[in-house]
Amino acid sequence: MGLIFDKNTADSYDSWYRSLQGRATNNALEQLILSLLDPKPRERVLDIGCGTGNHLLIFSKLGLDVSGIDASRYMIEKAKERLGHRCTLKRSMAEDLPFDDNEFDLAVFINTLEYLDDPLQALREAGRVANKKVFIGVINSLSWNGFKKRIQGYLGDSLFSHAKFFNLWQLTSLLQRAYGPAPISWGCIKTRPSFVEKMMPFRKNFINWNHFPFGSCLGVSATMIYRIKTDKIPLKIRLKKASQPLIDVKTLENLNRSNGAQ
């Protein structure tokens, strides 16, 4: 990963996550994730770049079998403290996942792709281990929120100075390169700026703009397809015992003597 979160970066993210704006964004993003992924109880989900486990807790409450990876040792330790034995957690790079092919039903990148050295390779790995869907959630580079985060990065904010922001067309292109003609679904959300929230605290703290591609957060889901799919077909015919060997005993003895003489 391009940026591996340490304690200071993690504290900065958690501070934003607990803020009014952060809670509004994540509540809306959670609904968007569930809409695009449509997870079923007991399905296996891998959170790539799981951080301290905020979204793993959500998936766990939905009855999913949850696993997470992160490149940061600090983040993994914090996630273990929060989830205990409810989750499988490993320290790993997104571009080289320590799992078997099709080990999961779902794989998600939630504010992770922005910090990766090789997003395309990470997506290919996610498609290798997930047999149903891959979801990406990012800050939309074409939104006011994305513009503001880029300015914060230019001004030295450690959380955004190393981030690469994406828009819908860039994500669609990456997914096509990673998975070919995989069906893609997407949606956007728009949260109100914090100063507007303070002035006009409405009951609903987000607006779902659906297919308006300039919302503050962007979610894209790709459904995995395979050109060749094999089925495990049980063998129903019992093999019979051979009536006689292909080579009789005398012939075998002669061959052994011949080989010994050589």
pLDDT for residue 4:
72
pTM of the full structure: 0.76
Q: 78 in helix, strand or coil?
A: helix
For residue 39, give Cα distances in angstroms to 45, 68, 141. 9, 16, 27
CA atoms of 227 and 146, how far apart (whole Å): 37
Residue with the larger pLDDT of the pair 157 and 259: 157
* Residue range 91-120: mean pLDDT, rounded: 94
pLDDT for residue 202:
43
Give me the percent of the chain exceeding a pLDDT of 70: 69
pLDDT for residue 209:
47
pLDDT at residue 203 is higher than 50: no
| Phi and psi torsions of 71, nearest 5° | -80, -15
- Select the highest-mean-pLDDT range: 5-9, 12-16, 168-172: 168-172
* Residue range 239-254: mean pLDDT, rounded: 61
* Residue range 82-92: mean pLDDT, rounded: 91
For residue 152, give Cα distances in angstroms to 3, 112, 162. 16, 18, 11
Summary mean pLDDT of the chain: 80
CA atoms of 47 and 214, how far apart (whole Å): 25
Task: Please report, to the nearest 10 degrees, the dihedral formed by the alpha carbons of residues 21, 52, 119, 104 taken in order.
Answer: -120
- Helix 7-18 and helix 73-83: axis angle, to 10°? 50
* Residue range 53-72: mean pLDDT, rounded: 93
Residue of 214, 187, 212, 200 whose CA lies nearest to 28: 187
106 close to 45: Cβ distance less than 8 angstroms: yes
pLDDT at residue 205 is higher than 50: no
Q: Calculate the CA 71 to chain-centre distance.
A: 14
pLDDT at residue 1 is higher than 50: no
pLDDT for residue 63:
93
- Select the highest-mean-pLDDT range: 84-98, 209-223, 237-251: 84-98
Residue with the larger pLDDT of the pair 28 and 80: 80
Residue of 50, 177, 159 whose CA lies nearest to 110: 50
Where do the domains of the chain lie, and which CATH numbers do they carry? 7-261 (3.40.50.150)
CA atoms of 90 and 38, how far apart (whole Å): 25
pLDDT at residue 91 is higher than 60: yes
Relative to beta strand 104-110, strand 87-91 is: unpaired
pLDDT level of residue 215 (50, 70, 90 thresholds): confident
pLDDT for residue 48:
97
Total count of residues recorded for the chain: 262
pLDDT at residue 204 is higher than 60: no
Residue with tokens 């959380």: 159
Residue of 220, 233, 219, 237 whose CA lies nearest to 179: 220
pLDDT at residue 228 is higher than 80: no
pLDDT for residue 195:
47
For residue range 144-184, list pLDDT tens digits in order. 777 777 787 777 776 677 788 899 999 999 999 999 999 99
pLDDT for residue 223:
96
CA atoms of 122 and 111, how far apart (whole Å): 13
Residue of 52, 47, 54, 71 whose CA lies nearest to 11: 52
pLDDT for residue 259:
63
**Beta strand segments in 58-165, E:** 65-70, 87-91, 104-110, 130-139
